[in-house]
């Protein structure tokens, strides 16, 4: 009888204080922690000193190990009776391949659970002062990946997104930002649509650059924005400027 189990845990967008209580409890009792590249090191410190920590990070074009190898390790350690935590940045089911890992573990007959995390789109946007929905400006949003821009077999359906969604949040799109911009303009998105780039959202290294769809790619290049970063395109980006103006006015009154 297999006594071990797997917890597929979302570590949130970067700030360790945004980790859920349930996630902390699982990390504290884990025997084995398999963690991704964007997991804050402070979160790893929640684990037992004797817990085995295995890096499974993936950067664009550079994977420390294949996905299949990660799944085999999860199964191997759980089958040996260990409490395994698969620790993933953001939310496991939002571009985290958590579904694939759950299927692999379930197929092996091992008990598992999925613990949600705050996904980067929501966490980084809120930290930067950008609501994804806002009365009078945006009633819908979509999260897509920019890494499929050159995937002709499984392309992003930009035309549908342009005409049906108010706010677009794009993961893994910094390197393909010129192509994303071109596609959105091609299908009728207004070049004056407000846009933002949030780098290292919710962390002490957070940087936010705002502009428009027409110039955001040039701003990204000029500011040397790099991963991890998300792109937000939509009218609700303007709320950030309103908040910053109000904060500036409040500081001037105090001063």
How many Å separate Cα 102 from the centre of its chain? 19
Return the closest-CA partner of residue 53 out of 33, 37, 67. 33
How many Å separate Cα 128 from the centre of its chain? 14
Return the closest-CA partner of residue 130 out of 118, 139, 121, 142. 121
The CA-based angle 40-46-50, given to 5 degrees, is 115
Neighbours of 190 (CB within 10 A): 13
**Residues taking part in catalysis:** 36, 58, 172
What SS3 class is residue 144? Answer: strand
């Amino acid at each position: 009888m297999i006594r071990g189990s797997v917890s597929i845990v979302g570590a949130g967008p970067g700030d360790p204080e945004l980790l859920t209580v349930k996630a902390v409890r699982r990390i504290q009792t884990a025997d084995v922690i398999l963690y991704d590249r964007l997991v804050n090191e402070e979160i790893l410190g929640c684990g037992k000193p004797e817990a085995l920590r295995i890096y499974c990070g993936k950067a664009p074009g550079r994977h420390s190990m294949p996905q299949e190898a990660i799944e085999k390790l999860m199964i191997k350690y759980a089958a040996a009776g260990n409490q395994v935590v698969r620790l993933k940045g953001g939310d496991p089911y939002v571009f985290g391949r958590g579904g694939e890992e759950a299927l692999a573990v379930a197929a092996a007959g091992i008990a598992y659970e999925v613990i949600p995390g705050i996904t980067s789109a929501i966490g980084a946007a809120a930290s930067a002062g950008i609501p994804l929905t806002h009365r009078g400006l945006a009633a819908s949003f979509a999260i897509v990946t920019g890494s499929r821009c050159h995937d002709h077999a499984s392309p992003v359906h930009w035309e549908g997104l342009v005409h049906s969604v108010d706010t677009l949040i794009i993961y893994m799109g910094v390197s393909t930002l010129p192509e994303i911009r071109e596609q959105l303009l091609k299908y009728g998105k207004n070049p004056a649509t407000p846009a933002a780039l949030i780098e290292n959202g919710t962390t002490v290294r957070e940087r936010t650059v705002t502009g428009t769809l027409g110039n955001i790619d040039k701003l990204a290049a000029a500011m040397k924005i790099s991963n991890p970063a998300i792109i937000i395109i939509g009218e609700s980006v303007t709320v950030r400027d309103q908040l910053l103006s109000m904060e500036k006015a409040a500081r001037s009154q105090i001063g």
